[in-house]
Structure 1
């Protein structure tokens, strides 16, 4: 008959205990419960348990103190700590005081059962060791520990695990001075090797293997009788893996903190992007309508143009903030990276920036027959804009920027976190001969808002974070290298192996309409009015709807050539859901999306419905008109 395992649940949250007990009852464990440390101690004094699941933060005492009480007073009970992410260090300390293991909340039930089973087996071994004869107590092959018997500072006996830990044969250490033969001298005082009390002592120190390598060791030792003679028993454990695990946990904590910062940034960005971009639509679009009716020599032409450019820059800041904050992504289309580089270097934007640094030359070495890569034109543009811009500022006066491309393959990635997959990549390198980036700064250059520049003068601290995000969204990798001779960024983008690449929306002069009918659907009247004036000025006939019900009712009564949808609506339907209902009315209905903010998944859902064009507000008239013409002319 299978023995019933008894478990004591100690947590001040009754709902948590209820849920945990339901799981354990399912696996036929016998459970008792306590809401405070004091209540748990009373139960433990009256009844034996195999396992105690302890919350670190109890209302009347620390879970660590309770774990120490169990270790000293309940030898048949193993304590397993339950901890939140912000108390991992406390739980690790509790393990040093005798706790068997710790689990982070929320609890993975399958992992919990495995840990309990291991703890029960551990209890069984401890009981067997306690009832064994004295000689077998000393020499038992107890898990990972090495056990040694020392008389008059000489090693007289040890188990095989002890010799394996230090890499010696038995004959090489027996009757040799101990512990100085295997413990680094300066750490002997840390473990109480000199003049330790008979009650026992322990701690962590540095072990020394036969081959000269050093490693962390956990040591406990105490006086006891061995074969009728006084001796000191040493128990040593190689804790290299545990120390490494603790370091990895700290690294994960840092990453989690960064992820939490980005999540908070994402919530903020998503909440304001839609409304702010709607506001900026008027700032960008109305000046464009006015400029179409003016000549360059007219009064206030330049001032109105500056208003429009300021609106575009404000929209770009919103886009960058959302780009950094977004955690989701869709698969980008294939891109001719060489063509994208040439297009950027020939752009007015780059020429204006380069004119500020007349002593700097940009040299390109682009591989012929370069494979296309998976990256959107917008992401590639942001990568080039920020990396080239940083290189210009790093050089300052006279110097050279080199941009090169090549096809490459990674068979054994050695990048940080092994994040780069094995496969074919298109590599773009952007190098400068500026002053370089210091080692301390290099570790943080991709963090949002981290900048060595003066905020408001030459940077916001978002540039390289935008580059990182753009590369990661393309399933690529970026690696920085820097020293006193300059800085180089190697960008790896997944190769598609196919050509030609998809071209971005053409931003040439607008394509005029020929009287085609367009239904504008936006929950803000001002947005519809602005869009209506823009499209009417280039020959389209427009109708407006501010709710899903109005839009569907209009389409039931008459047909239009195109529908322009907002993705986020005030009523119960978003842009994708509304378009699905429009297709029920007219399966051939053409549409495109112009939205202030769209989640990546919404964009993917739109593509699945055939909404291949999704533009972000504020949108300029040339871009909008070209997108309309492309949508109307699609087969």
Structure 2
């Protein structure tokens, strides 16, 4: 009985598996294939439509370029031969892929026709009936008040043309309209192949007559045939009396292949189902039903009464019990295997966890297990710490007793220093919890490495300090420079007019020198704020060193420190980098001055320059990546820097010198900013009593071509009546610049705002503009210069400002302004920059 029911169930399952795919195919697969074909044809039609629209757009732009042209505007009126010979030739039509150009006047009379056969390059006028067809299409000839162009198809007989029509206006799109320009491109074999490539399917065209208003009714359609799928859509003629039907076909190979594949799959599935069910029935009969029969046979052979014996139909429960027991045994075996595998995976995870883990026997107080990260932190191997008292290898406490086991302290996310083999210790975040391992109490100690975090915190703290000081410095620098302009400029102007023996000459000279020194301090503040005016240029670092050694500042340094010996070790070849030359010069001067001042009695300061090739990262004061670097070094044999002070030397206002004397606390900060702006790195090595070595690693650049510098005149260069416009919103500075430039021989005009300057430009031209970058009205100096460029493309200009950002300076250089003058400035500096700007070729 049980075998019969089982057999019927198996037969039903086989029939279901064999019949289900046919039902699925009937309701899903065939529809899906048809949908796929429909989308493929629809996509092809969309591709054709997009290609046609793109070609019409290209033709329309071509028509616009020719119609909105002053030469075309005149040609419709006078039909000059120069226009025909220079423009309406076969090369033009071949390059533009244009079949014909038709020039109509405002009365729709054809003034001129230019048409070529693009294959032969020979003139090929359009037939008269086609021209009549164009003349009878009113939509081509736009209304007088319509400046827009139109494009579309023109169908006449067996000819199909892409067409574009534009009103003929001037280059400034002004009228009155002289007529209409019609540009034609033929839909030939080459265009048909191009449309077929876009659609990836064959394309065919058919001309059909249309009734007015019927073009909008003819929607794109997809028709299914037994062997192909046909897609059709209509492109109406500009007159909407004739339409071009575009057809594309798709062979139904997808459906045929799908049906064939499905039949193969269904047959294979049916055979597999029959085989699988037969095999399953065989094993079921042998392993289950056979056992039931044997069990029932044994029960019948028992020497007991048949009363109370269960009926044979109860044998189904015995089979269920037997199968349940087998399943339980197999499940238990799988569970054992899974637990063993999970244990191995957990062990691997703990071993490779990025957090250090230490397991300590709470009774023996020895180390039982340590993972890889913990071993890396303490610098020992597993054999060196296993079964070793934890107090000797991992405990950071200095107490004899255990704080956790003896005093019951809780340790959770506590920062401490873990002992290492070399005795330095490692900062860690430590947590301890009580666990059971191998039925013994243990302490699980989890430690997180804080070295990288501590380093980042130190860098962040330094960056916050620099940012705070930089913001304060940048905020006051502009106002200070504006005030110092008058403080320096007026004394300088008076000194030029007074003889050296005048009673006021020396006081005025001291006032000017004080202003210049204040300006230097402001420039240091701007450099600190990373907003100082600088430009990225090619720098010959050796030339920077040589110029410093021949400068007045170096000579004064030698006179001050007569017992210090200065040496140089500079490579002979040119070593160049990209950056700001003034900032690099300032950094070198600060380093040499600090080195000389660090020598109390006698000693040596050595300036070195060489190329260094790093094949791997070098870790010193900071980590320097591998590469080829220019190393500019300054070494001294002075008192050196203590290890406590070394991490703070680049912080602003951190100095051991007397503030207000030789040190301001900004020198090394400026060095740091200058190097970082150039993409470089700084390394400092110092020992107290032995001296200090500061090395600047700068990215090497290709040496530029050497150019000769044009010598400036020994005396102040003067003008020859050139017209200069000064745009400055501060009255005192505007008057100062006007007076200085007038004394130098220039004709000066002043404007107190950008709006006033633009109004002056409408009436006269100026040889040079002197523009303040920041103006009180809505326009700044850069915007004023842009307005001047609209009127005169070669207008020369100088930008003047007390403080300007790098972005604004870069924008000025991009517009062609090559000279910048920072406030405050002297009469000599003003004269030289104005002279250089006027002598420079217009860019």
| TM-score when normalising by structure 1 | 0.67
Contact 1:329/1:601 (8 A) holds in 2? no
Distance 1:551 1:149 in 2: 83
Q: 1:57-456 counterparts in 2 under 5 A?
A: 141=347, 143=350, 144=353, 153=364, 168=382, 183-184=394-395, 189-190=401-402, 192-194=404-406, 218=430, 220-222=432-434, 231-237=440-446, 239=447, 242-244=448-450, 247-326=451-530, 332-415=536-619, 420-456=624-660
- Secondary structure at the aligned position of 1:464 is classed as helix
- Secondary structure at the aligned position of 2:566 is classed as strand
Report the Cα offset of residue 313 of structure 1: 0.2
Correspondence for 2:699: 494
Distance 1:609 1:551 in 2: 18
Report the Cα offset of residue 293 of structure 1: 1.7
Correspondence for 2:100: none
- Secondary structure at the aligned position of 1:471 is classed as helix
Contact 1:481/1:489 (8 A) holds in 2? yes
Report the Cα offset of residue 521 of structure 1: 0.9
Correspondence for 2:253: none
Report the Cα offset of residue 183 of structure 1: 4.8
- Secondary structure at the aligned position of 1:235 is classed as strand
Distance 1:443 1:162 in 2: 28
Once the two structures are superposed, residues 586-610 of structure 1 have per-residue CA deviations (whole angstroms, 9 ceiling, x without a partner) of 2111111111110121111111111
Correspondence for 2:719: 513
Report the Cα offset of residue 617 of structure 1: 0.4
Distance 1:632 1:317 in 2: 31
Correspondence for 1:593: 799
Report the Cα offset of residue 416 of structure 1: 5.1
Correspondence for 1:615: 821
Contact 1:150/1:178 (8 A) holds in 2? no
Report the Cα offset of residue 307 of structure 1: 1.1
Report the Cα offset of residue 206 of structure 1: 8.6
Distance 1:525 1:278 in 2: 11
Q: 1:413–1:543: structure 2 CA closer, same or farther, 3 Å change rule? A: farther
Distance 2:497 2:362 in 1: 102
Correspondence for 1:568: 774
Distance 1:349 1:318 in 2: 18
Distance 2:585 2:357 in 1: 60
Contact 1:508/1:622 (8 A) holds in 2? no
Contact 1:201/1:222 (8 A) holds in 2? no
Contact 1:146/1:235 (8 A) holds in 2? yes
Correspondence for 1:122: none
Report the Cα offset of residue 289 of structure 1: 1.2
Comparing both chains, which one has the higher relative contact order based on Cα–Cα distances under 8 Å and sequence gaps of 6 or more? 1
Report the Cα offset of residue 385 of structure 1: 2.1
Distance 1:319 1:385 in 2: 14
Distance 1:422 1:156 in 2: 41
- Unaligned 5+ residue runs, structure 1? 1-131
Once the two structures are superposed, residues 192-243 of structure 1 have per-residue CA deviations (whole angstroms, 9 ceiling, x without a partner) of 234869xx987879989999998769564447697xxx63244343x3xx32
Q: Which has the larger radius of gyration?
A: 2
Structure 1 window deviating more from structure 2 (263-272 vs 446-455): it is: 263-272
Q: 1:506-545 counterparts in 2 under 5 A?
A: 509-545=715-751
- Secondary structure at the aligned position of 1:440 is classed as coil
Contact 1:430/1:489 (8 A) holds in 2? yes
Once the two structures are superposed, residues 8-43 of structure 1 have per-residue CA deviations (whole angstroms, 9 ceiling, x without a partner) of xxxxxxxxxxxxxxxxxxxxxxxxxxxxxxxxxxxx
Report the Cα offset of residue 507 of structure 1: 9.8
- Secondary structure at the aligned position of 1:439 is classed as coil
Report the Cα offset of residue 494 of structure 1: 2.4
Distance 1:422 1:504 in 2: 40
Q: 1:191–1:292: structure 2 CA closer, same or farther, 3 Å change rule? A: same
Report the Cα offset of residue 160 of structure 1: 8.8
Q: 1:140–1:213: structure 2 CA closer, same or farther, 3 Å change rule? A: farther
Contact 1:153/1:179 (8 A) holds in 2? no
1:459 maps onto 2:658 in alignment: no
Contact 1:409/1:424 (8 A) holds in 2? yes
| TM-score when normalising by structure 2 | 0.52
Contact 2:684/2:694 (8 A) holds in 1? yes
Report the Cα offset of residue 529 of structure 1: 0.8
- Secondary structure at the aligned position of 1:404 is classed as strand
Q: 1:498–1:202: structure 2 CA closer, same or farther, 3 Å change rule? A: closer
- Unaligned 5+ residue runs, structure 2? 1-337
Once the two structures are superposed, residues 570-595 of structure 1 have per-residue CA deviations (whole angstroms, 9 ceiling, x without a partner) of 12222222222221122111111111
- Secondary structure at the aligned position of 2:645 is classed as helix
1:552 maps onto 2:758 in alignment: yes
Contact 2:487/2:511 (8 A) holds in 1? yes
Q: 1:419–1:294: structure 2 CA closer, same or farther, 3 Å change rule? A: farther
Distance 2:692 2:710 in 1: 30
Once the two structures are superposed, residues 359-385 of structure 1 have per-residue CA deviations (whole angstroms, 9 ceiling, x without a partner) of 333222322112222233311221232
Report the Cα offset of residue 467 of structure 1: 1.8
Report the Cα offset of residue 155 of structure 1: 8.9
How many residue pairs were aligned?
A: 491
- Secondary structure at the aligned position of 1:232 is classed as strand
- Secondary structure at the aligned position of 1:395 is classed as coil
Distance 2:788 2:720 in 1: 24
Correspondence for 1:485: 690
Contact 2:531/2:805 (8 A) holds in 1? no
Report the Cα offset of residue 504 of structure 1: 11
Distance 2:740 2:507 in 1: 20
- Secondary structure at the aligned position of 1:572 is classed as coil
How large is the Cα RMSD of the aligned pairs? Answer: 4.1
Contact 1:217/1:236 (8 A) holds in 2? no
Report the Cα offset of residue 312 of structure 1: 0.2
- Secondary structure at the aligned position of 1:392 is classed as helix
Distance 1:433 1:450 in 2: 22
